[in-house]
């Protein structure tokens, strides 16, 4: 009590109290912009921190994360065909995804898988053109392929593992003498690594899992098969024109077995699918360039100028023109009467158009036009010429 009373009435400060007062004076001076007061000891304050929201923004910027997610590109209605000259190494599924992205299309599909090892014609349908895919798939196909003699592989192409070898090498005369046996309607077993379904699963998925895949032979049509050249004793280049469901890999495998030389496909290029041939093919680089120019509006280029019309897939189907009133009824799914002197005797499928625009794929029977596939063409409709390169 004595000590406390004495300090309360005295003007003297203890060393600790003096240091506290001096620190308070320094803080006040710093707030007023006067830094002349020096502390009696070193003092390092904590750095000022930004508010919570600003700190998160700074951290995101440091990590390269944008403040807001990118808005998804709006999908649009695009209708027509694009015949991609698919490069080696790209899957058909990936090719479709690239085209879908470039055109921002709502609906895209292809008319016949092309192996990653293969290059060439991959017809891609956009929008309402997907309704005509069966007509393209059912068409004839042409291939140019190289067989490598001496090795049979589990995939029947160069990507697989070697399963058997042979030292025998056939000459040109022996090969040509064998080809008639593989022309016409023949029985063919698909490759183990193929898209054929077994019990609801793809054969290639089962094969990759190590399961034994037993595929049944199927009848396919080989319309033309000829030897083009023999670059050397180990290789032979052949040309083939075939129907739906034919596997060129199986053809190479079976030729190799029949010759006793064994073999697999080393290179493969598809030149035609149905109505689409080399003259309609366009490279991916060219498509990208045309799309960029169309988006930029250069030289009057539009996306419609890049895409082939839907009806280019229907070359083998007769065309029939109708009036606007009949076209409206067909679009509603209603049958209309076929007019003309041959109306009562005409039968079969027709492509129906009005004012130059395809309306429907229809069947004519007993003087009536009955719609089977109706086209709703809103948005971008392909109008490219037959030759786009």
pLDDT 10s digits, 232-270: 999 999 999 999 999 999 999 999 999 999 999 999 999
Domains and CATH numbers, the chain: 2-63 (no CATH), 141-273 (3.30.2350.10)
Instruction: Give φ, ψ of 167 to 5 degrees.
Output: -90, -10
Extract long-range pairs of 173-178: CB within 8 Å, 24+ residues apart.
174/259, 175/227, 175/230, 175/236, 175/255, 175/259, 176/227, 178/255, 178/258, 178/259
pLDDT for position 386: 40
The pLDDT value recorded for residue 366 is 83
Helix (H, G, I), strand (E, B) or coil at 4: helix
CA quadruple 236, 240, 246, 247: dihedral, nearest 10: 20
Q: Is 157 a catalytic residue?
A: no
Ramachandran class of 273: left when φ > 0, alpha when ψ lies in -120 to 50, beta otherwise:
beta
CA distance 350 to 361: 6
Strands, E, within the chain: which ranges? 78-86, 108-110, 119-126, 141-149, 151-153, 162-165, 184-188, 197-198, 201-202, 218-232, 235-242, 263-273, 281-282, 319-321, 336-337, 348-354, 357-365, 368-374, 380-381
Q: How many residues does the chain have?
A: 389
Distance in angstroms (rounded) separating the CA atoms of residues 159 and 250: 14
**Catalytic pick among 85, 115, 157, 254:** 115
**Nearest CA-CA partner of 108 in 86, 81, 135, 89:** 81
Residue 265 near residue 157, CB atoms below 8 Å: yes
pLDDT score, position 240: 98
pLDDT score, position 73: 72
Residue 232 bridge partners (DSSP): 235
Q: For the chain, how far is it from start to end, CA to CA, in angstroms?
A: 106
- By C-alpha distance, which of 284, 32, 252 is closest to 144? 252
Tokens of 329: 């009824």
* Burial 255-293, CB ≥16 within 10 A → b, else e: bbeebebbbbbbbbbbbbbbbbeeebbbebeebeebbeb
3-state secondary structure 38-55: CCCCCCCCCCCCCCHHHH
Residue 294 and residue 144 in contact, taking contact as beta carbons nearer than 8 Å = no
> Which pLDDT does position 26 carry in this prediction?
55
Helix (H, G, I), strand (E, B) or coil at 360: strand
pLDDT of residue 242: 97
DSSP annotation of 327 reads: H
Beta-strand pair 184-188/218-232: antiparallel
Whole-number Cα distances in Å, 29 to 35, 37, 189: 6, 7, 94
Tell me what pLDDT residue 218 has.
Answer: 92
Which residues, given as ranges, of the chain have pLDDT below 50?
1-11, 16, 20, 27-46, 386-389
Cα 329 from Cα 211, distance rounded (Å): 54
The single residue listed with the structure tokens 């000459």 is 171
Q: List the one residue out of 196, 179, 171 whose CA is nearest residue 251.
A: 179
Predicted confidence (pLDDT) per residue in 76-97, tens digit: 999 999 999 999 999 999 999 9
At 190 the pLDDT is 87
């Amino acid at each position: 009590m004595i000590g406390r009373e004495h300090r309360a009435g005295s003007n003297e400060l203890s060393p600790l109290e003096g240091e506290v007062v001096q620190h308070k004076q320094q803080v006040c001076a710093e707030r007023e912009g006067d830094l002349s007061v020096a502390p009696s000891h070193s003092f390092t304050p904590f750095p000022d921190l930004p508010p919570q929201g600003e700190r998160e923004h700074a951290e995101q910027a440091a990590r390269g994360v944008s403040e807001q997610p990118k808005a998804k590109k709006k999908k649009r209605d695009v209708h027509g065909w694009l015949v991609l000259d698919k490069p080696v190494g790209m899957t058909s599924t990936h090719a479709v995804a690239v085209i879908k992205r470039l055109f921002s299309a709502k609906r895209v599909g292809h008319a016949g898988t092309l192996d990653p090892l293969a290059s060439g014609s991959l017809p891609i349908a956009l929008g309402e053109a997907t309704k005509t895919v069966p007509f393209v798939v059912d068409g004839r196909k042409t291939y140019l392929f190289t067989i490598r003699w001496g090795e049979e592989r589990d995939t029947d192409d160069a990507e697989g593992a070697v399963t058997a070898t042979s030292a025998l090498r056939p000459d040109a005369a022996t090969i040509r003498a064998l080809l008639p046996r593989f022309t016409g309607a023949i029985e063919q077993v698909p490759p183990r690594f193929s898209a054929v379904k077994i019990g609801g699963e793809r054969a290639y998925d089962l094969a990759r899992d190590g399961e034994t895949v037993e595929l049944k032979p199927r009848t396919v049509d080989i319309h033309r098969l000829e030897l083009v050249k023999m670059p050397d004793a180990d290789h032979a280049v052949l040309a083939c024109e075939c129907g739906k469901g034919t596997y060129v890999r199986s053809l190479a495998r079976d030729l190799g077995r029949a010759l006793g030389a064994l073999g697999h496909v080393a290179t493969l290029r598809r030149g035609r699918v149905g109505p689409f041939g080399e003259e309609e093919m366009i490279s991916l680089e060219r498509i990208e360039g045309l799309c960029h120019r169309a988006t930029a509006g250069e030289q009057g280029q539009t996306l419609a100028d890049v895409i082939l019309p839907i009806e280019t897939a229907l070359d083998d189907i007769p065309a029939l023109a109708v009036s606007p009133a009949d076209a409206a009824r067909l679009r509603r799914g209603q049958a209309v009467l076929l007019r003309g002197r041959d109306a009562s005797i005409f039968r079969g499928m027709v492509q129906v158009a009005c004012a130059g625009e395809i309306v429907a794929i229809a069947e004519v029977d007993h003087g009536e036009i009955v719609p089977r596939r109706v086209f709703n063409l809103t948005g971008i409709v392909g109008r490219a010429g037959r030759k786009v390169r």
